[in-house]
Structure 1
Amino acid sequence: MKHQDLSFFKMLKKYFNINADKEDEQTTIENVESSISFHGAQLWILIFAIFIASLGLNINSTAVIIGAMLISPLMGPIIGIGLAVGIYDIGLLKRSAINYLIATVISVLTATIYFLITPLNEAQSELLARTSPSLYDVLIALLGGAAGFIALTTKGKGNVIPGVAIATALMPPLCTAGYGIAVGNLSYFFGAFYLFFINTVFICLATFVGTRMIKFRQTTIIDAEKIVKVKRFMMAVVVLTMLPAAYMTMLIIKQSITKNNLRSFVREELTFKGTHILSQNINEHDKMLNIVALGKIISHDTIKKASKKLSEYQLADYKLNIIQGAQSDSLLLMSKELSTVTMSREANDKKMIEQSQQIHELEKQLETYTRYESLSSEVSGEMKQLFPSVSQISISNIKEFETDSANHKRYIVAIINSKLRFNSSNRQRLQLWLKERCKADSLRLIITP
């Protein structure tokens, strides 16, 4: 039995043994050294890659951003730093660090120049995604760095290096940092640069650990006391880098739980026949749950009863604020008719065509309501980044009738609650952004204090 156990562990060791495919150490070091310097062709490739990534972020194109990451040479000096610390090569460490700083400065300057000259200066979702790092980004950098180092030190590299370049996403944070400088938004700059620093630290850490696991030979003999100091310094850098990300992750998880609790609360306590919940959002600053309802009015007693149940959904710290929408009886009546429509075999062709047209029109109207409900939720997150003074937003499709004629028109209404007064310039900029974001031909903006 003992012999069988030993055989099993030997088999596992054979499968997981990295050293079996290990490349010659000197060859690996030479490959890393050749990829760390930024001059001539390498420098121009970096500049073009930054321009491409900035363009991708500007037009919100994931495919373009991925293409830029594939041709980016930024991984070289970062892995060089990790390898140099792992084998205690001071010369390699200095060269890697200098080239890393050169690449970083040139990348940020290139991105800044692009965003200064581009006519498109609105922050897109791909760009905003790089301003709030979390522990998930730490894990991506650590695992990506480990995969990249193993690929560099083994004979069969395959498609690992391009995949690591995409997964760790070194380019977009630098481009976003350049955008922050170009538009004068320091929160964008620091958030994006922090994400880039996370990637750097944990790719270096993964490379350092890899050199120890694969047992690379040290180029310099260092006494045990200095080795302990190096390890303590690295541990301090790693912990200090993780702390802000850990805090942001806690906030993200807390917000996610609160949003799920709000959805459960609305579904269980405020879902009634004839009432449509248009939007629901959380105002953390005022500790308010803002819910916009259309259709049948929710009574004051019902609202009061629902407020008492907030604690059951871990929402006791919030106040319930229900904004009652306009009546939509005609739409609700059509919806009821739609559910009871049956196609009779004896119905003539004309009747079938009329019913089909009515159903199609109803589906379009229902789709409009659900679209603007989800759109309000999507826009609120982006709105907080672009216009921090805005605390609430509700978006709806309105049909307006004239009192002295049968004429009517449709347009989108956006109701904004702002803590600060908007001047005419900012109001126009907000209206143009909302019009573009909602893809609306006509949009009416209402700003309330």
Structure 2
Amino acid sequence: MTGNAFEQKNKQALQRGQRVALAATLATLVLALLKALVGWHYQAPVLVADAFHSGADLLAIFASYFGLWLAGKKKSVRFPYGLYKAETLVTLLVGGLIVWAGVELLGEGWHKLWVPAGAVGFPLLPLLVSALSVVASLFIALKERQVGLAINSQSLLANAGESFLDVATSAVVLCGLLLSYWRLPYVEGAVILLISLLVIKLGGGSCWTAFLLLLDANLDPQLSRTLEQQVDAIYGVKGESEVRIRQAGPFHMVECVIYTRPTLSLFRAHELADRAEQAIAAHCPHVESVFVHVEPLRDELRSVIVPVAEISGLQSRVHGHFGRAPYFLLLRLNEHEVEIEDFYFNEFLDEPKFIGLKVIKAIVAYRVDLLFTSSIGEISFYMLRDNFVDIYAAEEEQTVQEVIDQFRAGSLQAITQPTHSIDQSLVEKPLEQP
């Protein structure tokens, strides 16, 4: 996925979040005004207090909208990485407002705990307004949570949590109005205190998460490990890759270091980086950018395969043809050590044709790095090169140990083109004469 594709996708996500935040702002404004007017007219202090609580929610939701709007601005020379972190900064402010609302609610609950309520008439309209607030807050919370999860917006998720608590707060207000009518204020105060503590906990959690994100903390190490596993599984990547993720607003910025063999050409290294980028984009949600750096792996343990005529360890002799060799010797090789991993019998020798293709498919499954052979056909050569296998020329009847010594000494020549134009292993095997 190109940078423009990432940018277009992220712009659409931000616009979706902006629409939800703006709609929630308008709905919360209507609820706050309705609670304040009805509470003042019917002398219901608990409803007026809930109106102030909704006012704090209004500021938080509008701040979320502003942060998403700011994050949606185009990148510029001054801000080459965009303004995505504005949304995270707003999340920090939203968390602070939620904590403030919780503290205010805490004071109200403490007051209600000790002050008995006077006799009032049955508060029908305040009860209806509180019931409407419960339903509206629940709808707003569900929508904010749905879109917040879809676009990974921390501010929307923080607001959704506050809206869910607003549902509980409105329900408490509803009960409080009835309890005031029944002259049981102590229960009302205790419940308000409990809700206020939950509000403070939610706001504090949002502040802490936003603070860590502003410091580029990795809050999802499991995602990093998953991406590393996906990148390491790419054929041509050697060793263990390194993935670092930092979050800017609702989006992830991923940096990845992959290792490969030093002989890889610049073109193939770029191709390998593209594969890594595609793997990361496919498994990492809400990606803003992926930067892949390719490093040569020094003193690596390479996987080597050699077509041989017999099984005699490192004294096995190189066979004259790659596809029709009776055995293959698989080695692990670096600058100082060599280890025989296994011998493989060429199970395709009795096939009438396409032996080379079948051998190659078997070789690729072992993630081979090097092939030492005396000859190789055109199709086999290009298939192996496409799978990041370096091919070196070994003389027929040489021992494997002699070939290894030449390779370490740098005197073994790389095969840069097929040794013959027609792959003999693709030609039908001649029938034996009776």
User: Rg bigger for which structure?
Assistant: 2
Is TM > 0.5 for Structure 1 vs Structure 2?
A: no
TM norm structure 1: 0.27
Q: Which has the higher helix share?
A: 1
